[in-house]
Amino acid sequence: MRCPKCGCLDDKVIDSRGSREGSTIRRRRECLKCEHRFTTYEEIEHAGLMVVKRDGRREEFTKEKLLGSLKAACAKRPVPAAEIEALAENITDRVTDEFDSEVPSKALGEMVMARLRELDKVAYVRYASIYRRFEEAEDFLDALKQVEAKSDTATFPLPGI
């Protein structure tokens, strides 16, 4: 690893820690030449996973693009950046576990919308408006009705009421 201060390639690892999910390793390093300390992060590379778009095009799946779309949906919302990054990490792990080489954009989009709906309703509607290509005001109203719909479908009336 190249030292960011002097450019030397010789360093030693002082400390290593894994993330909670186990997908990232944080390493604290010290340059052997100037003794500058710096931090690096290592993560598993999910190479080769392709997203199959609606029109049949294929594009490489990247966590950075997913994170960018999540940040855009959550812009100016009270959602901590750490939660957005954890959501991107979680979706990336799930996608790479469920799909070997290709993931349909529909499956990825539905996965993102389901998680955003739990996280922030406004972010969900923003993402859904792009993903589902809303063109009319009625499209927004339909999405809002889905947000308002109770997810508990097994509610039974109590006897005698």
Same domain? For 39 and 56 the reply is no
Closest listed residue to residue 34, CA positions, set 52, 1, 11, 14: 11
Residue 3 lies in a domain: no
User: Please, which pLDDT band fits residue 69 given cuts at 50, 70 and 90?
Assistant: very high
Contact of 8 with 23, CB cutoff 8 Å: no
Residue 159 lies in a domain: no
Same domain? For 107 and 133 the reply is yes
Same domain? For 115 and 141 the reply is yes
Same domain? For 39 and 63 the reply is no
Same domain? For 92 and 129 the reply is yes
Residue 6 lies in a domain: no
Q: What is the pLDDT of residue 24?
A: 80
Q: Both ends of the chain: CA-CA distance in Å?
A: 70
pLDDT in tens, 83-140: 999 999 889 889 988 888 899 988 998 899 889 888 988 888 888 877 666 566 666 6
Closest listed residue to residue 46, CA positions, set 95, 83, 87, 85: 95
Which stretch of DSSP H or E encloses residue 139? helix 137-148
Residue 113 lies in a domain: yes
Res 4 pLDDT > 90: yes
Same domain? For 39 and 117 the reply is no
Q: What angle do CA 111, 115, 121 make, to 5 degrees?
A: 125
- Residues with Cβ within 8 Å of residue 40, at least 6 apart in sequence: 1, 26, 27, 29
User: Please, which pLDDT band fits residue 48 given cuts at 50, 70 and 90?
Assistant: confident
Average pLDDT (50-72) is 91
Same domain? For 111 and 138 the reply is yes
Closest listed residue to residue 63, CA positions, set 31, 85, 41, 34: 85
Q: What is the pTM of this model?
A: 0.60
Same domain? For 81 and 21 the reply is no
Strand partners, 29: 13, 38
Separation CA 95–CA 48 (nearest Å): 12
User: Please, which pLDDT band fits residue 80 given cuts at 50, 70 and 90?
Assistant: very high
Same domain? For 96 and 68 the reply is yes
For residue 95, the tally of other CB atoms under 10 A from its CB is 20
Residue 157 lies in a domain: no
Q: What is the pLDDT of residue 133?
A: 64
Same domain? For 91 and 22 the reply is no
Residue 57 lies in a domain: yes
Residue 133 lies in a domain: yes
For residue 3, the tally of other CB atoms under 10 A from its CB is 20
Same domain? For 38 and 57 the reply is no
pLDDT in tens, 28-47: 999 999 999 999 988 776 66
Same domain? For 123 and 55 the reply is yes
pLDDT in tens, 133-153: 656 666 666 666 666 665 555
Residue 158 lies in a domain: no
Q: What is the pLDDT of residue 159?
A: 60
Average pLDDT (55-78) is 91
Number of domains forming the structure of the chain? 2
Structural domain that includes position 31: 11-43
Q: Alpha helices of 31-120 — where are they, by DSSP H?
A: 63-73, 81-98, 105-119
